[in-house]
Structure 1
Amino acid sequence: MYQLIQEKPEDRWEVEALYDLCFAPGRTALSSYRLRDGVPPVARLCLVARDADGILAGAIRFWPVRVGRAEALLLGPVAVHPTRQGEGLGGLLMREGLARAEEDRWPRILLVGDEPYYRRFGFTKLEGVEMPPPTNPARVLGIGDWEGVTGKVRPWAH
């Protein structure tokens, strides 16, 4: 049994260690990280999953971005500790994060990922939305109201 709670400032380094474990060592060099530089994540949507002993098992974060002139959320990273994978925890984090984003009336969410995995949450390939290079355009996925929204994904502050 897992408890999903909003990530607190004191969770930061433990969550970063989880992301380091689950992703390539150079993950922060990815272009999506440039969209996060100097921009705080949307705190209410950033969740951690802890087991009954309080051990971190998973985490998800969301960041505000702009696409053209439209507001959007950039989902990610989402990670589950390797010893906890296959238990449905990633799906639990996704569903709860997406539900909170909908409650908060975010009109659209994008991510960079594998469409076969994220399709079950409603994500589809976005046309005309350009993540910073060298992102593979086939991996740029979205959910929500993308009607008429095109352009480059930019940091929130710009």
Structure 2
Amino acid sequence: MTFDLHRTFLAPVAPAPSTRPALAILDETPADFPAREALLDAAFGPGRFLKTCERLREGRKPASGLALVAKDDEGELIATIRLWPIFAGGRRPALLLGPLAVAEHARSLGLGAQMIRASLARARALGHRAVLLVGDEPYYRRFGFAQRFTEKLILPGPVERARFLGLELAAGALEGAKGRVSAAPPIPSVTLPRAA
């Protein structure tokens, strides 16, 4: 129940009916892979594999607990976001955000912002200290991303400098960061012994 504070007394006001579909932000599972790939293909096309940030993701897994999807009330995957372990110059641990994609029919729902906020909150709770990305500064500025955090960092390929942004989840996490951004080592596969 909400209250109308514009009146001289407090009167209950019925909540406005929601026109947004119900959705849930969940951990990505292996079963989500086909729908996730189809969504990324629709959003970015085949050129997505040529992007500089892809060099930091190839052959690696997203950071533990930081691969999220959103599904509507019918179970359709309508958004995806992943954060990847990287080093922000030298051996300074950080995360790389992306790709973020939202199904075309759901782009006016503010779902992209919800996905970003959920992933950053989870990254902070897991003890991560900094996030880098390549994206539109006017969009990502509202989440605290700024070019000043990446001025002395270099990505492993071409990128528009104005789109290379950083965010400190912990104060000072990117202070003095300089040099090449590199991928964290791949997580080795563990082979379990077979039962005799």
**TM range, normalised to the smaller chain?**
over 0.9
- Residues 94-103 or 34-43, more deviating: 34-43
Q: Shift of residue 71 of structure 1? A: 0.6
Identify unmatched segments of 5+ residues in structure 1: none
Match of 1:152 among 161, 177, 180: 180
Q: What are the Cα deviations for residues 53-86 of structure 1, in whole angstroms up to 9, with x where unaligned?
A: 0011101011101122201100000010001001
How far apart in 2 are the matches of 1:43 and 1:88?
25
* CA RMSD, Structure 1 to Structure 2 (Å): 1.1
- Residues 128-137 or 108-117, more deviating: 128-137
Q: Describe how 1:5-154 pairs up with structure 2 within 5 A.
A: 5-68=26-89, 69-125=91-147, 126-144=150-168, 145-154=173-182
TM-score by length of 1: 0.96
Superposed structure 1 runs of 4+ greater than 6 Å apart = none
Q: Shift of residue 129 of structure 1? A: 1.2
- Residues 107-116 or 29-38, more deviating: 29-38
Instruction: Please tell me whether the aligned partners of residues 78 and 90 of structure 1 are also in contact (alpha carbons under 8 angstroms).
Output: yes
How far apart in 1 are the matches of 2:137 and 2:114?
18
SS in 1 for 2:35: helix
* Amino acid paired to 1:150: K
- Residues 127-136 or 107-116, more deviating: 127-136
How far apart in 2 are the matches of 1:4 and 1:122?
22
Instruction: Please tell me whether the aligned partners of residues 154 and 181 of structure 2 are also in contact (alpha carbons under 8 angstroms).
Output: yes
- Residues 27-36 or 73-82, more deviating: 27-36
Q: Shift of residue 43 of structure 1? A: 3.5
How far apart in 1 are the matches of 2:86 and 2:34?
23
How far apart in 1 are the matches of 2:86 and 2:48?
19
TM-score by length of 2: 0.78
In our comparison, the structure showing a higher alpha carbon Rg is 2
How far apart in 2 are the matches of 1:43 and 1:105?
12
Relative CO higher for 1 or 2, CA cutoff 8 Å, sep ≥ 6? 1
Percent identity (aligned):
44
* Amino acid paired to 1:139: R
Count of aligned pairs between the two proteins: 158
